[in-house]
Amino acid sequence: MKNIKSVYFNEFGFSFLGNLLQEKNYSKIFILVDENTNQFCLSLFLSELATETSIEVIEIEAGEEFKNIETCTQVWYALSELGADRKSLIINLGGGVVTDLGGFVASTYMRGVDFVNVPTTLLAMVDASVGGKTGVDLGALKNQIGLINNPLLVIIDSRFLATLPAEQLRSGMAEMFKHGLIQSESYWGKMLNLSNLTLDDLDALIYESVLIKNNVVEQDPTEKSLRKTLNFGHTLGHAIESYCLQNTDRQTLLHGEAIAIGMVLAGFLSVEKLNFPKEKCFEIKETLSQYFEKQYFKQEEIEEIVNLMKFDKKNSHGNINFVLLEDIAKPKLDCLIEKELIYRAFNYYM
């Protein structure tokens, strides 16, 4: 596998990091982990890390509910107490929560120190760790605080996935499906048939997914147009994710689980608005239903979800903007959708 810009795979990643550490002569290395990546990923990572520089480990609590400014404060204090300076390096070893939050902390501590992402979930490998978006949630509002700043390097090594729970693996697959839907019919085709998947196949699919994301981000780093297509399924998906997180009587959904629902809904809206072929919309629904358990929403819940969308950063002047599909790999931006159609989309999904 070739490297993709600053994304390096497997042993190439670790040897590149080794060289970087020699060249840059950092004062100290701080590895940010959560409880799980401390337990499951740190020893493998350390066994591959060749350096004389002293290392400190900072642990945060695991889970989206800790992706907030309070956790950042804890990490800023820990860095300060452990003597981090502008010549320090932060290595984010974890899922999207650790890479998003760690990237933000690194970008703001002393006006910014270097950081490296080592994603340990499938979702973080194919999506969160690449593209430079960093940040945290504000209450139930996802990723409301943040900035764009690229890591020096991303190391992707699928050995970390060995301990990842199955539902987390599926959550990451949702973003891989999305990459096919918005950019590549052939990749979507490969994702339709995942039976007898070997580790090598998975590596190749991860590689291609990162390639798609990186291409999009490179062409439009500041999300003026093309990058917005990565939000396919996310307008409603984020609102569903926020709604479930906020409501104690609802089971919280993983990011990919919510986005999978969002993609089916966006598929329906695409049929209605852009003549996206009905049978392809059905294919999306059927394929995703093999991986993601159906969720049911009451009328009043759908209303609350629609209300939450008004706060999504991608919307302006009270309009709800969607990325829809004219066809597979033919996304269309800025499709304005009226409320009524959203209710019908939920009916189609359920």
**Residue 106 engages ligand NAD in binding (rule: CB under 6 A):** no
Position 255 contacts ligand NAD (CB under 6 A): yes
Q: Count other C-beta atoms under 10 Å from residue 349's C-beta.
A: 21
Least Cβ distance, residue 25 to ligand NAD (angstroms): 29
Please tell me whether residue 257 binds ligand NAD under the rule CB under 6 A: no
Where helices occur in 119-184 by DSSP H, the ranges are 122-123, 166-183
Q: How far apart are CA 232 and CA 184, in angstroms?
A: 14
Of 211, 196, 184, whose CA–CA distance to 330 is shortest? 184
Which of 164, 181, 302, 342 contacts ligand NAD by CB under 6 A? 164
253 within 8 A of 170, measured Cβ to Cβ: no
Enumerate residues 6+ apart whose C-beta is below 8 A from 254. Answer: 167, 168, 170, 171
Q: Which of 62, 79, 116, 174 binds ligand NAD (CB under 6 A)?
A: 62
List the beta bridge partners of residue 10.
none
When the beta carbons of 94 and 267 are compared against ligand NAD, the nearer one is 94
Phi, psi of 245 (to 5 degrees): -65, -40
Residue 131 interacts with ligand NAD (CB under 6 A)?
yes
Q: 277 burial class (0-12, 13-18, 19+ CB within 10 angstroms)?
A: middle
Residue from 12, 16, 40, 348 in contact with ligand NAD (CB under 6 A): 40
Options 57-65, 84-92, 151-159, 331-339: segment touching ligand NAD (CB under 6 A): 57-65
User: Which two structure tokens, joined as six digits, stand for 249?
Assistant: 């009587």
Which residue in 121, 183, 184, 242 binds ligand NAD (CB under 6 A)? Answer: 121
**Position 157 contacts ligand NAD (CB under 6 A):** no
Distance CA 134, CA 161 (A): 22
Bridge partners of residue 114, in order along the sequence? 89
Q: Of the candidates 13, 94, 233, 262, which one interacts with ligand NAD according to CB under 6 A?
A: 94
| Number of residues counted as binding ligand NAD (CB under 6 A) | 31
- Please give the Cα distance from 19 to 113 (Å, whole number): 18
Q: Does position 163 bind ligand NAD by CB under 6 A?
A: yes
When asked if residue 120 is in the footprint of ligand NAD (CB under 6 A), the reply is yes
Interacting residues toward ligand NAD by CB under 6 A:
34, 36-37, 40-41, 62-64, 67, 94-98, 100, 120-121, 123-124, 127-128, 131, 133, 142-143, 160, 163-164, 168, 171, 255
